[in-house]
Amino acid sequence: METVNLAQKLSLFSDHWHPRIVGELNGQQVKIVKVQGEFVWHRHADEDELFLVLRGRLTIQFRDGDFLLREGEFLIVPRGVEHRPVAEEEAHVLLMEPASTRNTGDVGGERTVEEPERL
Amino acid sequence: METVNLAQKLSLFSDHWHPRIVGELNGQQVKIVKVQGEFVWHRHADEDELFLVLRGRLTIQFRDGDFLLREGEFLIVPRGVEHRPVAEEEAHVLLMEPASTRNTGDVGGERTVEEPERL
């Protein structure tokens, strides 16, 4: 067992849209990611995904409207629902999702991180 | 879908050791709980359990030593491992665990919350 300090783990990297694994339980992974700018539209066929904002603001765009998340707020994106995360300024986000989840979902492409590292 | 503001949800109750459900994904539940004092020793046979401290300090006691968690820190207690949460002063905690998880695990008793409400 290990106490995980989120701020300390976030201090270990500075790149954007590159999630790192900081915990695993019950087949799920806890990841942290720094984001800025626009990601790609994608969906996860079989995985619900939780976004909890630790710092800054994160917009999750959907085809029928947007959700703005502030620090201390989370949103669960159900499986199959197309979405795109966007952040005007850098934001720090905690993710909870199954270990099978790929960051770019069904879309893939150059922004895919196939095997996120563990911090 | 709903944006969940953790501080707002925490403002809706004041009792201790009574978790509330604030989100569900992939068979897991996100719960919040206010704690103060000592809970009971217990284990969960089949469920790993994540404790993330949102405010204050939480000690998780194990038979062979303690972990002190501060704000922004989490610990994953593996299934089967006996533990007891303790907080000298009130602390606010986010839990991630399977929907099947009972707060008192294998021990049960008067502090059991059989069906946590959803906020």
Interval A40-79: pLDDT, tens: 999 999 999 999 999 999 999 999 999 999 999 999 999 9
pTM: 0.96
What are B43's two structure tokens?
Answer: 């284990």
Strand partners, B69: B58
Q: So what's the pLDDT on residue A114?
A: 86
Nearest CA distance, A110 vs chain B (angstrom): 27
Report d(CA A56, CA A37) in Å as an integer.
13
Q: Name, in order, each residue with C-beta under 8 angstroms of B110's C-beta and a sequence gap of 6 or more.
A: none
**Using 50, 70 and 90 to split pLDDT, how confident is the model at A93?**
very high
Pairwise CB contact (< 8 Å): B30 & A72: no
Contacts B50 to A, Cβ<8 Å: 23, 25, 30
What residues of chain B, 10 to 39, have a C-beta less than 8 Å from chain A?
23-28, 30
The answer as to whether B27 is a domain residue is yes
The answer as to whether B89 is a domain residue is yes
Contacts B28 to A, Cβ<8 Å: 26, 28, 96
| Structural domains in chain A (count) | 1
Q: What are the tens digits of pLDDT across the range B37-69?
A: 999 999 999 999 999 999 999 999 999 999 999
- In 3D space, the residue among A46, A103, A50 whose CA is nearest the CA of residue A76 turns out to be A50
Query: How many CB atoms are located within 10 Å of the residue B30 CB?
Result: 23
The answer as to whether A10 is a domain residue is yes
The answer as to whether B112 is a domain residue is no
Range of the domain at A65: 6-98
pLDDT at B115 over 90: no
**Using 50, 70 and 90 to split pLDDT, how confident is the model at A13?**
very high
**Using 50, 70 and 90 to split pLDDT, how confident is the model at A115?**
confident
Q: What is the CATH number of the domain that holds B40?
A: 2.60.120.10
